[in-house]
Each structure stands twice: as C-alpha cells, then as structure tokens.
C-alpha cells in the first residue's frame, strides 16, 4: 500500500504527502507566491468594480472584493452559460487579478477618471462662499493621501490652531497615487 510519507516528504508514488493528488501542496505553494499583474491600456478602460458589481468601488475592502469575485464566478461560469461561453468568466478572473492585487489595484485606481480641478480665485460673496467652494476640493483630494484622516478645510469658526495644523498637513501631503501607467508624450523636432 502507498502510505502517506511524513510531512514535507514524497510518498513512493512521488506525489507530496497530505493528499492523494498532491493538489493541496500545489495550492499552498501557489498561494504563497505573489503574482505580478501588468496592466495594459485596455485594462484601464474597463470599470472592474462594476464588472464585479461592487457598489462602493474604490471604498471596497479586500473581503468585499473577494466575496464579489466568488459570487460573479458562480454567475458567469461557462457551465452555467447556455452557449458554454467563457468570455465573461475570463473577464471576472481578470477583474480579480487586478483588484485582488494591492499594487495592481493602486495603479488601476490611480488611472481612473478623477475631478482634480481647482476653482479659480474669488471673488467670494462672503467667508462661507469660500469654504463651500474649496471644501469639496480638499475632500476629493484627501482620498489620495498616504496619511489617513487628512484634516478638512473647516469653516469660519474653526480655531486658528486647527487651521494651521490643516495647512501644515496639506503642505506636507504625500500621496499613494501611482503614475506608472501614465505615458509621457514628448514632441519630436
């Protein structure tokens, strides 16, 4: 009889111990390896969050992404398609390759459309007009901060120390945004 060998050794059949086929060892090894995901131009045109039916998009947690991926795999599996097509299933796989990998997700999120416009200078009717104009700008841009909980602009009643602290933090702003997918275009003379 072919008895399992002690952990870490092969049985007489040459397969790793712990499973008749050696698959559990393979899965464990594959799970330990990090897969490098290269985004191409076509990847940046797809809303992978929508494909996985994630309502909060960039606010989705790793667990929510994994859960949505599993649910969509069940929905799009070729065995469940009338024509046996695997096209949508492969797109779901690609969505998880991108959103399930922290580096690829950061690069993808950085390339998504974003309103980075800054309103022009006044004239402002009053102080509250200034705050209502610029508060959304600070709120939008705080999502890119490497530091959590960036202070917001406040209002006319915000204590001066808080205002100084807010400006100090924003002047030292560090971003997690990744521009590695941006292509620099240069004119050739």
Confidence (pLDDT) at 144 = 81
pLDDT tier, 17 (very low <50, low <70, confident <90, very high otherwise) = very low
Separation between Cα atoms, residue 10 and residue 18, nearest integer Å = 9
Indicate the fold that domain 37-111 takes in CATH: Helix Hairpins (1.10.287)
CA nearest to 96, candidates 138, 75, 66: 66
Question: Residue 68: how many CB atoms within 10 A of its CB?
Answer: 21
Q: Which residues pair with 136 in a beta bridge?
A: none
- The predicted-structure confidence for 138-167, as pLDDT tens digits, reads as follows 888 888 888 888 888 888 899 999 999 999
- The predicted-structure confidence for 101-126, as pLDDT tens digits, reads as follows 988 888 888 888 777 777 877 677 88
Where do the domains of the chain lie? 1-33, 37-111
The pTM score is 0.60
The 8-class DSSP code of residue 35 comes to: P
């Amino acid at each position: 009889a072919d008895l399992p060998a002690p952990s870490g050794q092969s049985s007489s059949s040459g397969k790793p111990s712990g499973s008749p086929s050696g698959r559990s060892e393979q899965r464990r090894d594959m799970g330990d390896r990090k897969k490098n995901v290269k985004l191409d131009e076509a990847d940046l045109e797809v809303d992978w969050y929508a494909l996985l039916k994630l309502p909060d998009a960039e606010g989705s947690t790793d667990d929510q992404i994994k859960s949505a991926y599993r649910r969509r795999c069940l929905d799009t599996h070729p065995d469940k398609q009338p024509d046996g097509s695997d096209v949508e299933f492969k797109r779901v796989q690609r969505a998880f390759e991108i959103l399930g990998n922290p580096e690829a997700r950061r690069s993808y999120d950085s390339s998504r459309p974003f309103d980075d416009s800054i309103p022009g200078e006044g004239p402002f009717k009053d102080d509250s007009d200034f705050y209502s104009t610029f508060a959304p700008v600070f709120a939008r841009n705080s999502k890119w901060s490497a530091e959590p909980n960036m202070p917001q602009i406040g209002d006319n009643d915000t204590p001066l120390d808080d205002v100084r602290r807010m400006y100090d933090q924003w002047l030292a702003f560090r971003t997690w945004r990744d521009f590695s997918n941006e292509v620099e275009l240069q004119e050739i003379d």
